[in-house]
Structures are given as C-alpha cells and as structure tokens.
Amino acid sequence: MLVSVLLSLALLGTTEACKGQSSSSQTGIVCRITRPAVLVLNQETRQVIQKALQRATYPDIKGERVILFLGKVNYGLYNIQISSLSIFSSQAELKKDKSIDIAIQNVSVTFKGTLQYDYNGGWLLEVHRSVDFEIDTSLDLQINTQLNCEAGRVQADTSDCYLSFHKLLLRLHGEKQPGWIEQLFTDFISFTLKLILKGQVCKEISVLANIMANFVQDKAANFLTDGDIGVDISLTRTPVIKGSYLESHHKGFLTYKNQSSSFQDSTYTPNLLGDSRMLYFWFSDKVLSSLAKAAFLDKRLMLTLTGDEFKALLENKALDTFQDILLEIFQGSSFSDSQVVVRSLTAPLITCKLEGTVVKSSVSVEIQLLHQDQAPTVAFSFEEDVVTVMQASYEEKKLILGLSDFQIQHKSFRSVATLSMSQESIQAFLKSLTTMVGIPVIISRLEPALTTLLNSKGLDLFDIINPEVLTKQGYLVLQMDFGFPQHLLEDFLQTII
C-alpha cells in the first residue's frame, strides 16, 4: 500500500501552496484514486517494504550484565545484516479524514552478524569469545500514513509506525554448548533489538516514502511539460482521504517562458467524480484553453502542405472540379512549385460542453508560389473563424479525435490575380476547401502528433483499461481502470539501489 499511496498521487507542483487558508478556488485539476485502484497498487507493496528493510542500517548492540556465577558479562553484536527476508501479505484500508493504514503480515527476517562476549568466572577463568550468529524474527508491521502538503508538494507522514514481534530466536555458530549461551543472550538483547529494529525500519520507510513521493511527482511534472510549455500543478489544499477514495487538488496554471496564467473561480465539487472506476482526472476547461494558448505562443499551431500533397487532397475530395479558380490562383504555375500554409491568427479558445470539446479558432490560409533563390510569394490567402466540436477517445494506445459538428464564418480573401469567379462562387470554393480538406487534414495531423507527444512521456507504457473522456459544462473528466504500473516501480527501485 505504500506503493499505492505514492503512485496514486501522480500530480504535483513545486510552488508555494497549502499555507494558511485553503486556495481551492484556484483548483484546475483534480486526481482521484479509488479503493479498487488501491487494491491493485497494493500488490507490489512487499517489494518496497523489502527494500526498506534491506536499506536500513542496523547499529551495533553493546552492553554488559552481571550474572550469578559468571560475574560481569560484556557483549556486543556487530555487523548486523539481513541474510534472508520474506513477506507473506499486505493489506490496506482508507481511514476517512485520517490516514491510509497499511498492515504487513508475517514478515520473516533473518539477521546475521558477529557476537563477541567476555566474562571472568573466577578461579583464573577468563572467557573471550567471538562467534557468528543468526537471529530469526517473525513480525507484523503497521504503517498509518497521513498525506500532507508542504510547499505545494505531497508529503507522506509515516511516523505512526510500529512492529509487533511474534518470534525472536538467537542461534550461535561455533559454540560447543550453545543452548544456555543462546538463551542467555536472547534474554539480554531482545528488548534492545526490538527497539532498534522498530526505529531503523520505520525511519527507512519514512525516507523511502518521501523519496518515492518526489520520484512520482517529478515524473508527473515532466509528463505535463514540453519544451517551454508547462503546467503549475502545485497542490491547492491538503490531499483528501475518504473511505472509498483519496484525492489531490492542483492549480493547473499555464507556465510559458516567463509568463503564467491563473484563475480564482474553480467549479470543482466532489460530487462531479464517482468511485466505480479506478482513476479519475478532472480538468477545468480553463486549463485546456491555457494549453492551447501556450501552443499558439510557441508557434506550434501552423501546418505546411507541399503543393503535391495539396493536389492529392483536392483530387481525393473531388475538389479538382474547381479547376477554373485554381488555374487563376496559380497563374500558370504547377502544384509542385507551391505550398499551402495554415496558421492560427489568435490563441484558440477551448470550452467544454455536454456535446463535446468546443474549439474556436481564427485561421489564415496562404497558397504560396515557390521561386528558385527567392522567398515564396503569396498568390492567394483567406481568413476564417472556425468552430469545431470534438469528441476525444483513447484506443489501442492512440488518441482519436472525432469531429461531431463545425461552423465556418468567412472573413476575407485576397488574390494577386484577378479572379473572374463571382464572390458567391469563391466563398463556396473556400467553404468546401475548409470543410472537406482543411479540417480533416488538421485532425489527421493532430492525432499522431499528440499521440507521439503522450507516448514520449511514457503513456504507452501504462496498462490503461477502458478509458473514457467525458465533457460537461465547463470541465472534462478522464476516467479509467489500469493494471499495476510495473515500469514505474522498476524505475523507482533502480534509483535507490
């Protein structure tokens, strides 16, 4: 469950937040992980607990006792290490408004090291011995984890940690009469050893918990960063723990170079997400619109088609029937000596509605003629306002964008050549060009580009099951089930070797 606590909080930021009063009105992204997901993530808790036990350092145990007939006995256990370790099972439970309780049952650990002892038994009898030892222990481990917010980051507090011992047995190697010696030193060290094990194991679990928290949060921050574009997803409040889910709230503000955006009117309420799927993400449409703005500022919203590509598209859509206007536009030049440039004139505005994701754009299209050793010249250009309604899905590790509706508002056109066609005929041509070529081409280029971007962040490595993208008034919800993210755990374990 330690794994589930930390891997589930797959969002994070780095700026100041959570100090003083809650800033929930700034929430742009919410991540909710439900109890079914906790059970899946709990499958590999044993690996992290084993790593904590193996990483812990166990100090030497020294002491002295006065024993009847033996006098003063000095002893020391040195170089204490784990020689074998097994964990039978782990369980997890969400405690409403309190903690995530992790119970690790039947942990069997064998420690090894060297025992040195000496005593003076009188009558000139002095004993100095050094023997190898093994200590067989059986214990349960209980970790009640609280999730806090510190400087905008999730912090795991595992200080409520304790061990219950079922067995502690000392075995000595090399003693001729080990029985009474073993019992003697078992009595000597039991209490001290239990205290040391509890302190060192719980300390290492705390260290690993926050190493993992930072590891996962840094992965999440990287996932929402590309070049100069980023998202400030620092926490806006302490994570919420309920009986059926745990939830983290994040700003979702755009960061682009030295620019940043913010908002103060979050519409999120807990009843907007369910608990039947394993993982939910809630996005304000302001977050989506700010990402579109960043793409515009970064000059990513531009598409160039070669003349031959443009010609093939016209033929494929039977638009070569507009031969007359095309001949006048190209002024005798061939398609091979041209290119078409489509660019966004302003940052697109994205809003979410019941019918889908609505994208409002102002675009310009230029047909440019290419010249050897000269800059291209614009033979024809036009501008339009385009509104599209999209339905997104994720299938077979690919992003699919479905067009459900659109509107086109023609604004202007300019032609170098004098066109003999009527205004109505030209506008009919431009509308057909946008409807049958422009919008489909942009969608067909966006789908693989966005899929490639997502996969470059490792999305394709996750076992995502039946993902759904739901749009509502003012927000978007991603909901899905998933298999255990083994690659993340392996990456994390590699970082702490």
Torsion on CA atoms 412, 415, 419, 421, rounded to nearest 10: -30
Task: Compute the distance between CA of residue 486 and CA of residue 209 in angstroms, rounded to an integer.
Answer: 17
Q: What per-residue confidence (pLDDT) applies to 70?
A: 67
Q: Are 358 and 350 in contact (CB under 8 A)?
A: yes
Task: Show Cβ contacts of residue 456 under 8 Å, excluding neighbours closer than 6 positions.
Answer: none
For 107, the 3-state DSSP assignment is strand
Q: Which residue shows structure tokens 């992965």? A: 219
Q: Which residues contact 195 (CB under 8 A, 6 or more apart)?
A: none
124: Cβ–Cβ under 8 A, 6 or more apart, which residues? none
Whole-angstrom distance, CA of residue 6 vs CA of residue 104: 17
Longest dimension (CA), the chain: 128
CA distance 490 to 63: 41
Q: What count of other Cβ atoms lies within 10 Å of the Cβ of residue 138?
A: 15
pLDDT score recorded for residue 11:
34
Q: How far apart are CA 468 and CA 479, in angstroms?
A: 5
**Cβ(254)–Cβ(294) under 8 Å?**
yes
Residue 417 has φ and ψ, to the nearest 5°, of: -85, 150
φ/ψ (deg, to 5) at 296: -65, -45
Is 38-219 CATH 3.40.50.720?
Answer: no
In this structure, are residues 310 and 427 in contact, taking their beta carbons and an 8 Å threshold?
Answer: no
**How far does CA 244 lie from the centroid of its chain?**
21
For residue 344, the model assigns a pLDDT of: 96
Could you tell me which residues come within 8 angstroms of residue 257 by beta carbon, excluding any fewer than 6 positions away?
228
- In sequence order, what are the residues at sequence separation of 6 or more whose Cβ sits closer than 8 angstroms to the Cβ of residue 301? 295, 343, 344, 348
Dihedral pair phi/psi, residue 402, rounded to 5°: -105, 130
Cβ contact 341:309 at 8 Å:
no
d(CA 390, CA 400): 10
Q: Where are the domains of the chain?
A: 38-219, 228-487
- SS3 at position 234: coil
- Digit-by-digit pLDDT tens for the chain (497 residues) are 333 333 443 333 333 456 544 567 889 999 999 999 888 888 778 788 888 888 889 999 888 877 766 678 888 899 999 999 998 888 888 999 888 898 999 999 999 999 898 877 655 567 788 889 899 999 999 999 998 888 888 888 999 998 999 999 888 887 665 667 778 778 878 888 899 989 999 999 898 888 888 888 888 888 889 999 999 888 998 999 999 999 999 999 999 987 788 888 888 999 999 999 999 999 999 999 999 999 999 999 999 999 999 999 988 888 767 788 888 898 888 899 999 999 999 999 999 999 999 999 999 999 999 988 888 999 999 999 999 999 999 999 999 999 999 999 999 999 988 888 888 888 989 999 999 999 999 999 999 999 999 999 989 989 999 999 999 999 999 999 998 888 888 888 888 76
Name residues whose C-beta falls within 8 Å of residue 242's C-beta, 6 or more positions apart in sequence: 94, 96, 97
Cα(344)–Cα(299) distance, rounded to whole angstroms? 9
Write down the pLDDT at residue 15: 36
Q: Which of 244, 278, 233, 319 is nearest to 12 (CA)?
A: 233
- The DSSP bridge partners found for residue 329 are none
Q: Which pLDDT belongs to residue 18?
A: 60
Q: Provide the pairing of β-strand 259-260 with 253-256.
A: antiparallel
CATH no., domain 228-487: 3.15.20.10
What is the spatial distance between Cα 492 and Cα 489, in angstroms, rounded to a whole number? Answer: 5
Collect contacts of 452-459 with beta carbons under 8 A, ≥24 apart. Answer: 453/226, 454/399, 455/397, 457/222, 457/223, 458/219, 458/223, 458/487, 459/223, 459/397
Q: Of 83, 78, 77, which Cα lies nearest the Cα of 54?
A: 83
Task: Please give the pLDDT value at position 417.
Answer: 86
